[in-house]
Chains A and B, each alone.
Chain A
Amino acid sequence: MGLFERVINKSVAEFLREGIRLRVIGDSSRLPVSLQKIAREAEEATRNNSQLDLTLAISYSGRRDIVQACRSLARKVHDKVLRPEDIDESLLAAELETSPANKLPYPDLLIRTSGELRLSNFLLWQSAYSELFFTDTLWPDFGEDDYLEALVSFQSRDRRFGVRKKL
């Protein structure tokens, strides 16, 4: 956690200079108070930037994201903003931490480093049509060459985005 705090602290000036907007998603209640504070301040400082959106998923769980979306919907049901029978895919998707309201679109490309071939509870809902790229390179060593390799792989795929015909 100390690493997160140091990196975020060091990078805020660069984010401001480069127009990068930082967002932090995940269960922040499980994080040290100091990290919560630094993350909040960095988000606030970079809120108006628009050149690049950088999202850090810390203490994030895809299943937890789905469950908290259900809780948000339940609160809306309680407040009579919507009825339980109105709940569908799009309403649930709108309550996820990466929802359109937060302007975090679903990823086109998901890169998993370190040679593991799984999602590890990351963006389970959002990765339905994401091109998955697995690389043996460890994260600290992931550089431009590895990124280009991922992009070349992505370019060569035939993506149909799961276009479904009505049954």
Chain B
Amino acid sequence: MKSVFSLCVQMSRPSIILKFILGLLWGIIHLAISLFNLWSLLIYNIECYLISSGLLWKYRDLHLDRLKYLAIVVASKEAKNNMKIRQLLCWLSTIGVKYVCLYDIEGILKKSFEPAMNGLRDGKAGEYLDIGASVNYSHCGHKEMVIEWLSGSDGKEGIAKAANLLCSTYFSENTHGNGKREPTFTEADMASALKAVGCGGPEPDLLLMYGPARCHLGFPAWRLRYTEIMHMGPLKSMKYGAIVKALYNFSKKYQNYGKLGFQL
């Protein structure tokens, strides 16, 4: 009995040592990855600070001629952080962004900010941008900025409403006509229908996503064709330098907008 027990102890000792070594290796790998992530975060924060303080020359002069329209998608949980949203809008205005669209799927931003925004409904800007009702005109940092507020009802629901309108029109034309016309809707028809139901609007040149997931969360699909998309991380840790860097990177991008260099 004693010899069986000692044999068991001898057999389990190597497995205990092996488990210890594996556990140690696992810990070392985790530590290495954590240190790497910490280092990356430190570099990122230092870069953002240098950009914000104007010490990095190339970010001093932003050429925003190509940025006619900026979109921001915010995860709904973070959209409740009114202070951060106001700060973000002020930063964008300071940088010189003229038109910005804010979107969250639940419409929290629309409910929180649209009635309270200090400003007038700018009908002219709305017409120029082909935007429906949710437009405000804001002063921040002595610069003017047009703000559009969007929610999930402007996304897929908006397209469904436009489809409803197209089909209703087609149905009534067929009822009063010969009834045999094949539907020949085009993209232009859909764009007009979207405008008619209040879900028209320009395609953003750049879309910044704030939130844990790198998704556009149902931003109006019709307007996302060639939009540059950048993930900025959580809203609570947003940085001015990161926004400047994103806009700078956008200004250096080349887009051919789906044009072909040859015929198929």
Contact = CB atoms under 8 A, between A and B. Distances in A.
B26 interface: no
B214 A132 contact: yes
Contacts of B75: 160
Contact of B221 (A62, A71, A131): A62
B106 A165 contact: yes
Contact of B222 (A63, A133, A159): A63
A78 B214 contact: no
A117 B164 contact: no
Interface in B214-264: 214-219, 221-222, 224-231, 253, 255, 258, 264
B61 interface: no
Interface string A129-142: 11111100000000
Contacts of B215: 127-132, 159, 162
B155 A73 contact: no
B107 A77 contact: no
Nearest to B229: A117
A67 B190 contact: yes
Contacts of A37: none
Contacts of A160: 75, 77, 213
Given A63-B225, A157-B213, A160-B213, A167 B107 contact: yes
B218 A129 contact: yes
A118 interface: yes
B186 A120 contact: no
Contacts of A69: 163
B213 A125 contact: no
B171 A77 contact: yes
Contacts of B105: 162, 164
A30 interface: yes
B156 interface: yes
Contacts of A144: none
A127 B221 CA distance: 9
B190 A78 contact: no
Interface in A59-110: 59, 62-64, 66-67, 69-71, 73-75, 77-78, 84-85, 87-89, 91-93
Given A73-B163, A87-B163, A92-B163, A117 B228 contact: yes
A1 interface: yes
A34 B230 CA distance: 40
B217 A121 contact: no
A125 B159 contact: yes
Given A62-B225, A71-B185, A133 B160 contact: no
B212 interface: yes
Interface in B16-56: none
Contacts of B152: 162, 164
A93 B183 CA distance: 18
Contacts of B214: 131-133, 153, 157
A140 B182 CA distance: 42
B91 interface: no
27 contacts: A66-B159, A67-B187, A70-B167, A70-B190, A71-B183, A71-B185, A74-B170, A75-B183, A77-B170, A84-B167, A87-B160, A87-B164, A92-B159, A117-B229, A117-B230, A118-B229, A121-B225, A124-B224, A128-B215, A130-B215, A131-B214, A132-B231, A157-B212, A160-B75, A162-B215, A164-B152, A167-B106
Given A74-B171, A119-B225, 8 more contacts: A30-B264, A62-B221, A63-B222, A75-B182, A121-B225, A128-B219, A129-B217, A160-B213
Interface of B: 75-77, 105-107, 111, 152, 155-157, 159-160, 162-164, 166-168, 170-171, 174, 179, 182-187, 189-190, 212-219, 221-222, 224-231, 253, 255, 258, 264
